[in-house]
Amino acid sequence: MIETIVANAVLVVLVLVVLAFSIRILREYERGVVFTLGRFTGVKGPGLILLIPVVQQMVRVDLRTVVLDVPTQDVISRDNVSVKVNAVIYYRVIDAERAIIQVENFMAATSQLAQTTLRSVLGKHELDEILAERDKLNRDIQEILDSQTDAWGIKVANVEIKHVDLDESMIRAIAKQAEAERIRRAKVINAEGEHQAAQRLVDAAKTLATGPRAMELRYLSAIQDVANDRTTTMLFPMPMDIISALAGKQEPPAKT
């Protein structure tokens, strides 16, 4: 009787152990890559999964988007400037079978590929482009990574360059360059203003030259402007043509 109870207890324990090794529960964002005697037999999930103990093995794969922080990389730009750049990559597994079978560790492989691609792409551009055209560089890196990780069943959704660190000497050089550029623009604007003012003066002179009395009116207007300043004594040269014009209008004296 005791032997029967012990046998039943052992049987129950064995059944529980078998069930523990057979039953798998996968969440909505998980998939299970199943191998039977070492051969791939399918991708299962989500939900309850039953496996044959010892005969079948399962590898879990997370399908959620992974945020990968790319370590700081030393990059030499095309104009031979050394900078330190780090970035962040957003990717996810879209094919669990290829992510497990085609590459040993898809997370480590993606990280290493991102580092080399970051150095390669930024090394083809000058420092000004790296600082001013981040959106374009992000797209270029994303397209390269996405095309190369497609064979692993991975989709690279986005790449963002976070920081571009420069040496102190390079920061000072950039500040001097920016100051020189501002001075150059100020001089150009000043020269353009002088050119426009000179052109307006030429146009005014041409306009005055077209009318026989225009210069005389301008002269009288200048006298009026000076008179408004309340000066005590004013001396003005009188053009001979004005004097002649005024003398011509005077009436001859009457004869006796």
Give the integer Cα–Cα distance in Å for 201 and 197: 6
Is a pLDDT exceeding 60 seen at residue 254? no
* 225, 251 contact by CB (below 8 A): no
Domain that residue 109 falls in: 66-166
Residue among 70, 100, 104, 105 at smallest CA distance from 84: 70
Give the integer Cα–Cα distance in Å for 104 and 121: 26
Is a pLDDT exceeding 70 seen at residue 244? no
Q: DSSP letter string over 81-96?
A: -EEEEEEEEEEEES-H
Burial of residue 254 (CB within 10 Å: 0-12, 13-18, 19+) is: exposed
Same domain, residue pair 115 and 47: no
Our count of domains for the chain comes to 2
Predicted confidence at residue 236, as pLDDT, reads 58
Predicted confidence at residue 233, as pLDDT, reads 63
User: Per the structure block, which two tokens stand in for 155?
Assistant: 């989709």
Give the integer Cα–Cα distance in Å for 149 and 122: 20
In angstroms, what CA-CA distances link 107 with 58, 63, 97, 100, 111?
18, 12, 15, 11, 6
Is a pLDDT exceeding 80 seen at residue 29? yes
From 166, 183, 217, the end of a domain falls on: 166
Is a pLDDT exceeding 80 seen at residue 160? yes
Is a pLDDT exceeding 90 seen at residue 231? no
Share of the chain above pLDDT 70, in %: 79
Residue 44 lies in a domain: yes
From 43, 61, 79, the end of a domain falls on: 61
Predicted confidence at residue 63, as pLDDT, reads 95
Where residue 86 sits, what CATH number does that domain have? 3.30.479.30
Predicted confidence at residue 179, as pLDDT, reads 78
In angstroms, what CA-CA distances link 64 with 5, 50, 155, 159, 237?
49, 23, 11, 16, 92
* 164, 131 contact by CB (below 8 A): yes
Burial of residue 209 (CB within 10 Å: 0-12, 13-18, 19+) is: exposed
Comparing 149 with 2, which gets the higher pLDDT? 149
Q: pLDDT tens digits for 124-152? A: 998 888 888 999 999 999 999 999 999 99
Predicted confidence at residue 10, as pLDDT, reads 76
Comparing 182 with 177, which gets the higher pLDDT? 182
Sorting pLDDT into bands at 50, 70 and 90, what band is 253?
A: low
Same domain, residue pair 92 and 49: no
* Mean pLDDT value of segment 149-177: 84
Predicted confidence at residue 256, as pLDDT, reads 46
Share of the chain above pLDDT 90, in %: 41
Residue 181 lies in a domain: no
* 166, 83 contact by CB (below 8 A): yes
Query: For the chain, what is the mean pLDDT?
Result: 82
Give the integer Cα–Cα distance in Å for 219 and 217: 5
Residue among 58, 140, 43 at smallest CA distance from 94: 43
Same domain, residue pair 55 and 81: no
* Mean pLDDT value of segment 158-169: 86
In 3-state terms, what secondary structure has residue 173?
A: helix
Same domain, residue pair 55 and 129: no
Residue 116 lies in a domain: yes
Is a pLDDT exceeding 60 seen at residue 232? no
From 166, 201, 216, the end of a domain falls on: 166
Q: pLDDT tens digits for 67-113? A: 999 999 999 888 888 899 999 999 999 999 999 999 999 999 999 99
Angle 214-227/168-210 helices, nearest 10 degrees?
120
Sorting pLDDT into bands at 50, 70 and 90, what band is 238?
A: low
Burial of residue 129 (CB within 10 Å: 0-12, 13-18, 19+) is: middle
